[in-house]
Structure 1
Amino acid sequence: MYNEPIFLEPVLQERIWGGNKLSTEFGYQTPYEHTGEAWVISAHPNGPSKIKNGPLEDNTLQDAWEKHGELFNRTEAAGESYPLLVKILDANENLSVQVHPDDSYAKEKEGVPYGKTECWYVLDAEEGAELILGHHAKNREELQESMEKGAWESLLKHVPVTAGDFVYVPSGTIHAIGAGIVILETQQSSDITYRVYDYDRTDANGNPRDLHLKQAAEVTNVPHKDPKGEIIQETIEDLTVRKLVQEAYFTVYHWDLRGDSILERKKDFLQVSVIKGEAAITTDNKTFRVEKGMNFIIPNTVKYFSLQGNAEMIVSHT
């Protein structure tokens, strides 16, 4: 069916902490004053991407997953839902401090197929920008006591970041993206968030935003342990490939193209987001120009493809 990449239209999401960089830096048509997220590769019902080319143009990615499993080498064991979600987030202000459940809790308590393990590639960070990643509580009783008292400064761990940093965030990790940071997030296809602290902000109607301290206390990993990982690098012709993480739910790479490279798709399918520069991708004698802000899937029906140009990409697969 498809002997070419499947290009996708991003879905823009309004967020109280969002800014305008998704427009100014990526060229997306932002419909809100505070546009915080672009769901750039998504089959989630809260923001499914539309296909922009080929026989399935104007269908959603979820439509393709359900009706054309051959594009993803989908089996019954893969379940009914597309497994991954890729976003670009513009944190003009601090995001709420939050935590996500694992698969078993999400299925049992929320009735959804996936919890949320995620990872972040920092695209841009203002001087002095930082994340919250983890906590200092030694046991669950200390965690609950600190939450109830609102002892956030002593509880939460702050981590400075700069552009090019990579952060792995397993389910159960208390976290927050700080103001002045733009990230590309690769995650399980889940939209379950338990808000722990929100800086006493109010919504558009002046009401405090809901917190979910009970659920957060139940799902948070105690004590917190910083994830350990090794970045592995290889070179394929003019392409430098850095494997950022390989875990149960996804493997994520940073590709740095400086010339030409011929590649074989060895996984069921590849998700690709262009984060810098421009290039050409050729499949079966069809050539497509790609540039910063474009997102596409190399389907299972494409075995070999070539890249030419100068560009950086974040690539992922299950």
Structure 2
Amino acid sequence: MKPYPLLFQPEMKERVWGGRALEQFGLTLPEGPIGEGWMIGDHPNGTTKVINGEWAGLGLDQLREQYGKDIFGSKGFSAKTGRFPLLIKLLDCQDDLSVQVHPNDDYDRLPQGELGKTEMWYILDAKPGAKIIYGLQDGATREQLAEAIADNRIMDCLREITVERGDSFYIPAGTVHALGAGVLVAEIQQNSDSTYRLYDYNRLGLDGKPRELHIEDSLNVIAYEGSGASHMKTNLSADNEWLTLARSPFFITEKGNVKQEWPLRTSADSFVIHIICDGTGSIRWADGELPVKPGECYLLPANLGDYTLTGSMTVLRSYLP
């Protein structure tokens, strides 16, 4: 079967901090506060299915099993789990997320078959004054943080940053972080659902009970001497050129503005994921052309080869290093 750009049915996740903002992308949401759209994923907690073309109806796990390296590329599998290595999300934060941290792959208390979680955020939209928590105050130690948690003053140890549309944040495992109310985010991450909560504003979960905290695990995995986290403004100086937002052992993510035809190519090493941030255009390849719009996330098979982006739009491109 000839390869083509794959679009998936998102797996929607109800979250106490979520809302309805993902509807602006034309997505159909179930009832309730929807915080996460898992746009491309192959995880026990959510596996997306193709909704376009000849592979419609197949899950990402089935594509992996049937076509393997042809679609994913020679590097396109987690060495630990054998699954698709990334998870692509859109996040609607109508309220503050919990203060949290993620482990790396080597943490010995990870659930069986689970990965650590290095991730990055691209701010698609932000209300004026919206903030995130991004790292500890300089010099904060495990002992100081544990004492602050016990005294209910953890916020004294955390750094807050005001964000705006177009900001990018790289969040290696071990970085304390939390998205704040009023942001809409594209997230590229390892294929993991491992989160340790340090603090959750003493609120109740969707079940009416206090949400679980993971203080000991959190204190164990925080990178107190620095995790390599970085953030940047992403104003582009030219069209049809890539700006690198994140370069990690697990993914590379770049941003580009499409203003005229932009010829590109996949490689045998890795699939390519394109997230359409704004504007409209198309993806054209040897056997067809697809119109694309904001909020859509496409997986381009490693064996697709030459393709062209057209139109006037901002896109993110992610692939494996």
Please classify the TM superposition score into its range, dividing by the shorter chain length: over 0.9
Paired residue type of 1:58? G
Number of the residue aligned with 2:197: 195
Deviation at residue 292 of structure 1 after TM alignment? 1.1
Task: Give runs of aligned pairs for residues 202-217 of structure 1, distance below 5 A.
Answer: 202-217=204-219
Number of the residue aligned with 2:297: 295
Q: Any conservation in 1 of the 2:168–2:231 contact (CA below 8 Å)? A: no
Deviation at residue 113 of structure 1 after TM alignment? 4.0
CA gap 1:109/1:225 in 2 versus in 1, 3 angstroms: closer
Paired residue type of 1:43? D
Distance in structure 1 (CA, Å) of the matches to 2:35 and 2:78: 30
CA RMSD of aligned residues (A): 2.1
Q: Deviations over 1:169-188 (max 9, x none)?
A: 11011110000011100000
Paired residue type of 2:257? D
Q: Any conservation in 2 of the 1:2–1:301 contact (CA below 8 Å)? A: no
Q: Which moved more, 1:8-17 or 1:219-228?
A: 219-228
Q: Any conservation in 2 of the 1:271–1:298 contact (CA below 8 Å)? A: yes
Deviation at residue 225 of structure 1 after TM alignment? 5.7
Task: Give runs of aligned pairs for residues 111-122 of structure 1, distance below 5 A.
Answer: 111-122=112-123
CA gap 1:225/1:188 in 2 versus in 1, 3 angstroms: closer
Distance in structure 2 (CA, Å) of the matches to 1:31 and 1:259: 37
Q: Any conservation in 2 of the 1:2–1:71 contact (CA below 8 Å)? A: no
Deviation at residue 38 of structure 1 after TM alignment? 0.6
Q: Deviations over 1:251-274 (max 9, x none)?
A: 001121012111122351101111
Q: How many residues align?
A: 314
Q: Any conservation in 1 of the 2:77–2:83 contact (CA below 8 Å)? A: no
Matched, 1:256 2:276: no
- Which blocks of at least 5 consecutive residues in structure 1 are unaligned? none
Distance in structure 2 (CA, Å) of the matches to 1:181 and 1:226: 23
Distance in structure 1 (CA, Å) of the matches to 2:76 and 2:254: 27
Distance in structure 2 (CA, Å) of the matches to 1:312 and 1:217: 38
Task: Give runs of aligned pairs for residues 222-301 of structure 1, distance below 5 A.
Answer: 222-224=224-226, 227-228=229-230, 239-266=240-267, 267-301=269-303
Matched, 1:154 2:156: yes
Distance in structure 1 (CA, Å) of the matches to 2:197 and 2:249: 25
Q: Any conservation in 2 of the 1:115–1:192 contact (CA below 8 Å)? A: yes
Q: Any conservation in 2 of the 1:99–1:174 contact (CA below 8 Å)? A: yes
SS in 1 for 2:308: strand
Distance in structure 2 (CA, Å) of the matches to 1:45 and 1:77: 15
Q: Which moved more, 1:202-211 or 1:189-198?
A: 202-211
Deviation at residue 152 of structure 1 after TM alignment? 1.8
Structure 1 length normalisation: TM-score? 0.92
Task: Give runs of aligned pairs for residues 1-318 of structure 1, distance below 5 A.
Answer: 1-23=1-23, 25-69=24-68, 70-74=70-74, 78-79=78-79, 80-105=82-107, 108-136=109-137, 138-224=140-226, 227-228=229-230, 239-266=240-267, 267-318=269-320
Q: Any conservation in 1 of the 2:18–2:93 contact (CA below 8 Å)? A: yes
CA gap 1:65/1:77 in 2 versus in 1, 3 angstroms: closer
Deviation at residue 206 of structure 1 after TM alignment? 2.7
Deviation at residue 214 of structure 1 after TM alignment? 0.8
Q: Any conservation in 2 of the 1:257–1:311 contact (CA below 8 Å)? A: yes
Distance in structure 2 (CA, Å) of the matches to 1:229 and 1:161: 10
Q: Any conservation in 1 of the 2:266–2:303 contact (CA below 8 Å)? A: no
Distance in structure 2 (CA, Å) of the matches to 1:60 and 1:135: 39
Deviation at residue 74 of structure 1 after TM alignment? 3.8
Q: Any conservation in 2 of the 1:277–1:291 contact (CA below 8 Å)? A: yes
- Which blocks of at least 5 consecutive residues in structure 2 are unaligned? none
Paired residue type of 1:165? D
